[in-house]
Structure 1
Amino acid sequence: MTYAKDATPPYYHGTRADLRPGDLLTPGFDSNYRAQKLSWIYFSSTLDAAIWGCELAKGEGRERIYIVEPNGAFEDDPNLTDQKFPGNPTKSYRSRDPLRIVGEVERWEGHSPEQLQAMKDGLARLAAEGRDHIID
């Protein structure tokens, strides 16, 4: 694994977890989108991708977007770059090494209720068709 060649900070991670600067995000937890323990931690250098991450995350906590710093090598997220968006326009990445939280984005604008529902409907459709796998 090498560093993603076009990656530029800042990096973001969307979630519902209540964390603080200095905390580490590590692999080994369920995906935001389905019950599947992942051996990678995912992040992006676009705020929009992080917004989707926290809006779609399971749980009851407040939607949060953290500014993170990778602590090791990372690569393009093949779930998006190879499958849906060739060339990685979402600037989505994954790492087996922890991400250190260095801050939180306090103000951001979420997707419209219609966009959010359309995304949830699309994810439900993929699950019903058995096509909601995550390349881990």
Structure 2
Amino acid sequence: MSDDRLGPDDGPFFHGTKAVLSPGDLLEPGRRANFGENRTAGHIYFTGTLDAATWGAELSAGEGRGHIYRVEPTGPFEDDPNLTDKKFPGNPTRSYRSKEPIRVVEEVVGWEPHPPEVLQHMLDSLAAMKERGEVVIDD
């Protein structure tokens, strides 16, 4: 890794959420987590793929439609241990987390949501995992 790199990837990076954000906004740890009940996030999560950001936009907490933003980390970041090598060998989703803020660069327009049956399958899978007590977030 060269001296100017903050983490294992050079980007571009994306963040999916239900929140309405503007360029320049900072997303920081310490707010209510999108996943896990009544939990404060110790990290901010982002990805290098639009598909993973789409899941974030569709599955995140909140009302309304999802949004995807191109973001840039402001400090060091690491592979997201909730996905890397646990659910997927390596890090094919290019999922990362940081204790430092990420800055919104711009909203991504024209992204395609997952088909309704694919989204419902994911929601059903997450509900079943929760019922079995398997929804554990390493934060």
Same fold (TM > 0.5)? yes
Q: 2:59 aligns with which of 52, 56, 59?
A: 56
Query: Does 1:8 find its partner at 2:1?
Result: no
Q: What does the per-residue CA deviation read over 1:64-100, in whole Å, with 9 as the maximum and x for residues that have no partner?
A: 0010000000000000003101210000000000000
Structure 1 CA distance for aligned equivalents of residues 130 and 31 of structure 2: 19
**One-letter code of the match for 1:121?**
D
SS for the counterpart of 1:78 is: coil
Q: Extract unaligned runs of 5+ from structure 2.
A: none
Q: Extract unaligned runs of 5+ from structure 1.
A: none
Structure 2 CA distance for aligned equivalents of residues 4 and 86 of structure 1: 19
Q: TM-score, normalised by structure 2?
A: 0.92
The sequence identity of aligned pairs, in percent, is 56
Q: Is the 8 A contact 1:44 1:90 kept in 2?
A: yes
Query: Does 1:65 find its partner at 2:68?
Result: yes
Residue 81 of structure 2 is matched in structure 1 by 78
Residue 98 of structure 1 is matched in structure 2 by 101
Residue 31 of structure 1 is matched in structure 2 by 33
The structural deviation recorded for 1:44 is 0.1
The structural deviation recorded for 1:3 is 4.0
Q: TM-score, normalised by structure 1?
A: 0.94
Residue 121 of structure 1 is matched in structure 2 by 124
**One-letter code of the match for 2:86?**
Q
SS for the counterpart of 2:72 is: strand
SS for the counterpart of 1:80 is: coil
How many residues are matched? 134
The structural deviation recorded for 1:61 is 2.8
Residue 111 of structure 1 is matched in structure 2 by 114
